[in-house]
Amino acid sequence: MKHLNVAMIGSGFMGKAHALAYANMPVHFYPAPAIPVRKVVVDVSPELAKAAAERLGFEESSTDWREVVNRPDIDIVDICTPNDSHAEIAAEAAWAGKHIICEKPLARNASEAKTMLEAVTAAGVTHAVGFNYRYTPAIRMAKKLLDAGRIGKVLSFRGHYMQDWSADPNTPSSWRFSKATAGSGALGDIGTHVVDTARYLLGDIEAVSSVLATHVTERPASSSAFDQLASGDRSGSGAKVPVDVDDAVYSLLRFSSGAIGTLEATRNARGRHNYLGFEIQGADGTIVFDYERLGELQVMFANDRDDVQGFRTVQAGPFQPYGDKFWPIAGMGTGYLDVKTIECYEFIKAVTEGRQAAPSFEDGYKVELVADAIQTSASTGQWADV
Amino acid sequence: MKHLNVAMIGSGFMGKAHALAYANMPVHFYPAPAIPVRKVVVDVSPELAKAAAERLGFEESSTDWREVVNRPDIDIVDICTPNDSHAEIAAEAAWAGKHIICEKPLARNASEAKTMLEAVTAAGVTHAVGFNYRYTPAIRMAKKLLDAGRIGKVLSFRGHYMQDWSADPNTPSSWRFSKATAGSGALGDIGTHVVDTARYLLGDIEAVSSVLATHVTERPASSSAFDQLASGDRSGSGAKVPVDVDDAVYSLLRFSSGAIGTLEATRNARGRHNYLGFEIQGADGTIVFDYERLGELQVMFANDRDDVQGFRTVQAGPFQPYGDKFWPIAGMGTGYLDVKTIECYEFIKAVTEGRQAAPSFEDGYKVELVADAIQTSASTGQWADV
Amino acid sequence: MKHLNVAMIGSGFMGKAHALAYANMPVHFYPAPAIPVRKVVVDVSPELAKAAAERLGFEESSTDWREVVNRPDIDIVDICTPNDSHAEIAAEAAWAGKHIICEKPLARNASEAKTMLEAVTAAGVTHAVGFNYRYTPAIRMAKKLLDAGRIGKVLSFRGHYMQDWSADPNTPSSWRFSKATAGSGALGDIGTHVVDTARYLLGDIEAVSSVLATHVTERPASSSAFDQLASGDRSGSGAKVPVDVDDAVYSLLRFSSGAIGTLEATRNARGRHNYLGFEIQGADGTIVFDYERLGELQVMFANDRDDVQGFRTVQAGPFQPYGDKFWPIAGMGTGYLDVKTIECYEFIKAVTEGRQAAPSFEDGYKVELVADAIQTSASTGQWADV
Amino acid sequence: MKHLNVAMIGSGFMGKAHALAYANMPVHFYPAPAIPVRKVVVDVSPELAKAAAERLGFEESSTDWREVVNRPDIDIVDICTPNDSHAEIAAEAAWAGKHIICEKPLARNASEAKTMLEAVTAAGVTHAVGFNYRYTPAIRMAKKLLDAGRIGKVLSFRGHYMQDWSADPNTPSSWRFSKATAGSGALGDIGTHVVDTARYLLGDIEAVSSVLATHVTERPASSSAFDQLASGDRSGSGAKVPVDVDDAVYSLLRFSSGAIGTLEATRNARGRHNYLGFEIQGADGTIVFDYERLGELQVMFANDRDDVQGFRTVQAGPFQPYGDKFWPIAGMGTGYLDVKTIECYEFIKAVTEGRQAAPSFEDGYKVELVADAIQTSASTGQWADV
């Protein structure tokens, strides 16, 4: 069986998720299109890199991503670093002819994303951007229903992604609160997942009218080199640093198809932890999804008998997309790792078949175009074309 | 005990709701501030009016609203007619010195609403507009929590009202699909309920950015003089008539308080029947309401212990507003009629105490200002100030 | 239109519900089979009776139920008193030739219920027992689906009725905690509703294996003549009185049809307010109901396509039983009063048509047979035949 | 770091789950107490065993479990075979001094389980039985709340485990439908999970009153050597074979603590896929869990303020047991594999620390005592002591 050597750059929370996905994919998807080999992991210090290799099952560790990316035995470069380094690493990896999977958002803005797309296109490698949620089996099921016309012409899309880990003003700062590193705040971090989901399910977005808000304008500096997210640390090192990105974004969307949409994303929604979801209303039915109950899809068909019409709660299982690859009974529990494992499978399959993955850097770039338009609209107070 | 004679103009679905509310209010709210007496009901033909009197428990019937409104024995005029007649009837009633409760929306537009407000203000009568949903006990509970600061500074409001009775293109037309009669479509019919709820809970809206959509541009003419709503008639008389109002409205909202909001209203949302609701995110908690489960309020407090934080499903009952007036146990079932009964109580109480009701014509006018701004924004593609 | 004069004995919480049902029924069910006239209300003191007449809209009041029951102008006797007086009042009313509706449970035990059934049978009057919940539109819908074979052969029934108003050991005592007055505790008060629902939907119960529990063995004496239920009074008059009835009942059920069931009823279930519900599993589908969301029925059909199978949340509305009598749109809110209004309609209709109501005293008696068997089983530790 | 060599006997659905748990555990639980090494996998044919080794990441494969179990380099024997071989394999492994984890139910009956317990006790090895669901973070959270007295004295337990994969009479037979191989049907397969959960949370069960039912008395023979579960095969090889085990079990439970319980388990509940759950009512609160939404726990505290009391939906995350070992944000998705990974961690930790795991063979034996009592009660129609 074909093996593909992976170099992973960055070993934080996302690195862990990717490492486990590489390990689990060939077990669930058997026989796998190819076996990903955890060859080398890169982090900023030798200690961190070595610990990551041990923990995450990589054969080697390094602090020199550039050297690693250029190693002839590496087939795949997996970019799990903060947003500001994506472009440079991707360019180098493309130049070296490596296939690339890059965590989302692809870049800090569309212009940066464009250079990345150009690099991978010129290199002719397979590229993917880590908008993993579109691989959730229930979302795949939604796509299947839409493609089959089961809810008719799509009229509207209500998308949201709400978290609360930064709602507390004492949650420490991190690279996610810095425009220089992250590009934007909730918009880039989680709003782009909504944009990707919307594009995946309904197609391109043409124009937006948007508002951005920053509810907490300064935060304690972090006492940790790591992204703390919802760790419960609420004081950091004490000193205050300014926040120059958005906490929340609200937008109207106009799709090329004529459908209308709304997008709401915030990291300050008390009680919403990973509340990514949507409601798609069609002429003949409605589909509703909420990632906090990721094993379920709500579907309503207008051609059901009048007296027993209602939203059906469909549980992900053997009869839905990818369901036969996991557990033999519905309702056993789809986890985050399963979603990342499917993402891994689709990327490795694309690499093996010598074709583009989806979502690709092109998708990542188009998402950035929407994100840029949202920022433009928010600052001009006008609709902005994408 | 004081009695107040009511003349009700219009005896359709809303007339029935009001009549029952007059009958039930003094039983639930005992002793009532005054007893409303169902004196005379007016409709367009003697047959309809007579049948309404018999069915709805009015002592007399008439087809001449103007004469009735001017009768010296009438204390209250209750306007349950289509939107295009509100202004004329209200003006006459005000001139005659009657207290007025007028179904929503107050008028077809802000200018018409303004004349009505001027008339009742000049007459010094008590006036109310029938945005009944704000009387839902769970919404009153939300207000109480907001006023007590239980969720801290309010950051955002997501409001929606979705129905599906007109989703089928063969649902017959009615006055609700005509700009001349209704003023607007989903916007005026149900979107205004969201606006009223938003204003009730968060205060004034300053500016909007909006889109309107008409999904079904012509419908079969109705074969009935009555509003069929979700009766299941899907062919009407056969002939097609054009629709010149919106089926759906989507809007961003900017509140005077600085909070940001979204509003979505549509009568074409398959599977959503009376899906009025909101999510209010505050710095210290979140409140969620869905009228399709009107007996429940979801509340989340950020100061709950970390390990047992979560949305609480609070059932309306004796410990919430008005709860002690209905049934002695929570979860027995709050119905639409109960909401209308509370509305009736608050109006009669205001009349008895010689003060303004809430929502008053002033509220109704301010809602129309928002609705006008939404239409302006939708046509200009710009934010519109209210 | 035919009028029927009602004498109501007892004016507590149930009296209020019945009075409103008499008032509202002819408005919802138009034209009504007959108009119930609130003629006279009886309570224990002249003051209470007079206040009840004023509040509940009765023409007259009295303290002498025996005299009232024998008045020639009375057509219907409505018994809303505590359980220990049902038998005597019903016997007198039957002897006087009155139609009777008696609140549930019919009696304190089967033997007492039997004398009541014999009295009304001998008198040839129409009789009904107030197991009102079976009139809930969603339960009617369940019955319709079962009768149409939509879920195939019924395999099992899980029924429960859980409340929490007496969970606090300081909730004062009342007649509901006394065997002499009530016959039994949670079993008679709410467990019998489950038995009635089970019999309505699945037919007769043949045998039971049961446990009873009394969690709170003494309570403060009440400081009020009235049933406080969930009023929040948690101290009463201070003095403690013993409790000699059950707080909770658990039972296995064997139906004549071969189906197996479970019954759980308790008034000490924290957080459960009026949690009456069931799950009925059939060979081809499942139906689930929870009264705390009384406007919804959950139904699952095994012949739905594998990939979109799931529980449908069907909202009560115009397309379900009685739906066209209330509001023109689903999801507007079914309340407790609506359920009582339907009960009133069915009883008045039966009286008008000169036939038996359902549930009748015979049903009430059969429920008592099951309740007696449950007590027998609980004390012998053996299965008991009904 | 310490390594422990694992020999896994059986490579079906459970083998896959265990293999992934061995791989993932040291990544989530870092540093792990020891690293489990997938040394050798055993299955019935060389082809199956070899394929399993390749797929599941074992170094070697074999068809001779006895030889493997006796290899000196093996530290742990993991038994994933059908129930009828558990005892023999466990005895051999104990004799060889290996630590043992055995899938549930431990045996076909209590007598068989007893011999197993005696064998491991004599050998002084660490032993565990695979009632994995008690490791679900939400169930651990429930335990924590119970132990802290957060809901006061426990009054009752309602437990259920419902599936529907065998509801269709054409679902093929397998070893799960044979008393000789499985011991019992739904009782042993899934009912025992409820018993384990009940014992874990409330302590020992003293007596039961039970009913068993077999709804489908013959099924098509399977055309596969494998357990098909919910694969959708509905015809098998065509020939019919008898079913001699139960499809469903219903039982009353009496706990040593005085609490009362109910247990319902069936594999024929249409629409219920992996519906394991419970409701625990205490004097001061209630806890509700449903595995089909395994990332959530419902908790209600009676000492919350009256007006905002209600069930809290707590999402598993960093603040609940094991939450810090998985993902940094609540609501990201707990999957079945995560539960198995926690089970693996606790077993490896116990082995490393030279102490007993929980649940141990003793727990497995006590569960069998309850299962035996349920069968006794079902056949005698009497309560049976455990």
> What confidence tens digit (pLDDT) does each residue in A207-234 have?
999 999 999 999 999 877 677 787 788 8
Contact check, Cβ <8 Å, B319/D312: no
Task: Kindly indicate the confidence band of residue D228, based on its pLDDT and cuts at 50, 70 and 90.
Answer: confident
Per DSSP, the residues of C141-188 read HHHHHHHTTTT-SEEEEEEEEE--TT-STTSPP-GGG-HHHHSSSHII
Total number of residues shown for chain A = 386
Residue in C170, C168, C188 with CA at minimum distance from that of residue C178: C188
Task: Kindly indicate the confidence band of residue C317, based on its pLDDT and cuts at 50, 70 and 90.
Answer: very high
Chain B touching partners, 3 or more CB pairs below 8 A:
A, C, D
What are the backbone angles phi and psi of residue D354, rounded to the nearest 5°? 65, 35
- pLDDT tops 80 at residue D1: no
Identify the closest residue of chain D to B308 by CA–CA distance: D314
Task: For residue A1, give Cα distances in angstroms to A4, A26, A225, A350.
Answer: 10, 11, 39, 16
C328 interaction partners in chain B (CB closer than 8 Å): 13, 165, 227-231
What integer is the mean pLDDT of B300-310? 97
CB pairs under 8 A between A and C: 48
CB pairs under 8 A between A and D: 140
Cα D18 from Cα D9, distance rounded (Å): 11
pLDDT, position D37 = 98
Residue in D377, D347, D366, D358 with CA at minimum distance from that of residue D18: D347
B283 interaction partners in chain A (CB closer than 8 Å): 167, 169, 215, 268, 270
Chain A residues with a Cβ under 8 Å from any Cβ in chain C = 141, 144-145, 150, 299, 301, 304, 306-315, 319-320
C170-210 residue pLDDT tens: 999 999 999 999 999 999 999 999 999 999 999 999 999 99
What integer is the mean pLDDT of C56-65? 98
Sign of CA dihedral D2, D7, D11, D14: negative
3-class DSSP assignment, residue B257: coil
C303-315 residue pLDDT tens: 999 999 999 999 9
What are the backbone angles phi and psi of residue C348, rounded to the nearest 5°? -60, -40
Task: Report yes or no: C297 and D329 within 8 Å, Cβ to Cβ.
Answer: no
A274 interaction partners in chain D (CB closer than 8 Å): 329-333
Contact check, Cβ <8 Å, B313/D311: yes
pLDDT, position B150 = 98
Task: For residue B5, give Cα distances in angstroms to A129, A293, B36, C267.
Answer: 70, 54, 6, 44
pLDDT, position A225 = 67
Task: Kindly indicate the confidence band of residue B233, based on its pLDDT and cuts at 50, 70 and 90.
Answer: confident
- Amino acid identity of residue B235, one-letter, is S
Residue in D360, D373, D316 with CA at minimum distance from that of residue D138: D316
pLDDT, position B366 = 98
Cα C11 from Cα B27, distance rounded (Å): 12
- pLDDT tops 90 at residue B303: yes
Residue D24 C-alpha, separation from nearest chain A C-alpha, in angstroms:
7
Task: Report yes or no: D348 and D355 within 8 Å, Cβ to Cβ.
Answer: no
The residues, any chain, with a CB within 8 Å of residue D215's CB and separated by 6 or more, are C155, C283, D247, D248, D268
pLDDT, position A360 = 98
| Three state DSSP letters for C187-220 | HHHHHHHHHHHHHHHHCCEEEEEEEEECCCCEEE
Task: For residue B116, give Cα distances in angstroms to A47, A76, B189, D24.
Answer: 76, 71, 19, 70
State the residue for tokens 């002499």: C180
Cα A296 from Cα A289, distance rounded (Å): 7
Contact check, Cβ <8 Å, C333/B339: yes
3-class DSSP assignment, residue A170: coil
Nearest 5 degrees, angle CA B165-CA B170-CA B171? 35
pLDDT, position B300 = 98
Mean pLDDT of chain C: 96
Task: Kindly indicate the confidence band of residue B223, based on its pLDDT and cuts at 50, 70 and 90.
Answer: confident
Per DSSP, the residues of D111-170 read HHHHHHHHHHHHHT--EEE--GGGGSHHHHHHHHHHHTTTT-SEEEEEEEEE--TT-STT
Task: Kindly indicate the confidence band of residue B224, based on its pLDDT and cuts at 50, 70 and 90.
Answer: confident
pLDDT, position D225 = 67
Cα D375 from Cα D183, distance rounded (Å): 11
D22-47 residue pLDDT tens: 999 999 999 999 999 999 999 999 99
- pLDDT tops 70 at residue A33: yes
pLDDT, position C205 = 98
Sign of CA dihedral D363, D368, D374, D377: negative
Contact check, Cβ <8 Å, B318/C13: no
Residue A273 C-alpha, separation from nearest chain D C-alpha, in angstroms:
5
Task: Kindly indicate the confidence band of residue B237, based on its pLDDT and cuts at 50, 70 and 90.
Answer: confident
Task: Report yes or no: D232 and D130 within 8 Å, Cβ to Cβ.
Answer: no
Task: Kindly indicate the confidence band of residue A278, based on its pLDDT and cuts at 50, 70 and 90.
Answer: very high
Best of D222, D292, D294, D313 to disrupt the A interface (most A CBs within 10 Å) is: D292
pLDDT, position C97 = 98
Beta bridge partners of C241: C219
Task: Kindly indicate the confidence band of residue B81, based on its pLDDT and cuts at 50, 70 and 90.
Answer: very high
- Amino acid identity of residue D359, one-letter, is P
Residue B345 C-alpha, separation from nearest chain C C-alpha, in angstroms:
15
pLDDT, position D345 = 98
What are the backbone angles phi and psi of residue A347, rounded to the nearest 5°? -70, -50
| Token pair belonging to D73 | 């380099």
- pLDDT tops 90 at residue B231: no
Q: What is the crossing angle of helices A13-28 and A46-56, to 10°?
A: 30
C338-353 residue pLDDT tens: 999 999 999 999 999 9
Query: What percentage of residues in chain D have a pLDDT greater than 70?
Result: 99
pLDDT, position C183 = 95
> Taking chain C, what is the end-to-end CA distance rounded to the nearest angstrom?
44
Mean pLDDT of chain B: 96
pLDDT, position D10 = 96
- pLDDT tops 90 at residue D52: yes
State the residue for tokens 């690693």: A68
What integer is the mean pLDDT of C97-123? 98
Contact check, Cβ <8 Å, B230/C274: no
Task: Kindly indicate the confidence band of residue B222, based on its pLDDT and cuts at 50, 70 and 90.
Answer: confident
Which secondary-structure segment (H or E) carries A368? Answer: helix A361-380
| Token pair belonging to A261 | 């949409």
What integer is the mean pLDDT of D281-287? 98
Cα A136 from Cα B187, distance rounded (Å): 35
Chain A touching partners, 3 or more CB pairs below 8 A:
B, C, D
pLDDT, position B225 = 67
What integer is the mean pLDDT of A54-67? 98
Query: What percentage of residues in chain A have a pLDDT greater than 90?
Result: 95
3-class DSSP assignment, residue D386: coil
Nearest 5 degrees, angle CA D227-CA D229-CA D231? 105
The residues, any chain, with a CB within 8 Å of residue C149's CB and separated by 6 or more, are none
3-class DSSP assignment, residue B4: strand
| Token pair belonging to A92 | 């180098």
Best of A162, A164, A209, A280 to disrupt the B interface (most B CBs within 10 Å) is: A209
D320 interaction partners in chain B (CB closer than 8 Å): 307
What integer is the mean pLDDT of A33-45? 97
Task: Report yes or no: C220 and C115 within 8 Å, Cβ to Cβ.
Answer: no
pLDDT, position C234 = 80
Task: Report yes or no: B157 and B202 within 8 Å, Cβ to Cβ.
Answer: yes
Mean pLDDT of chain A: 96
Residue D57 C-alpha, separation from nearest chain A C-alpha, in angstroms:
8
- Domains parsed from chain B with CATH numbers: 3-132 (3.40.50.720), 134-356+366-385 (3.30.360.10)
B19-41 residue pLDDT tens: 999 999 999 999 999 999 999 99
3-class DSSP assignment, residue D29: coil
Residue A92 C-alpha, separation from nearest chain D C-alpha, in angstroms:
29
> In whole angstroms, what separates CA C202 from the centre of its chain?
17
Nearest residue, CB atoms, D319 vs list B150, B306, B314: B306
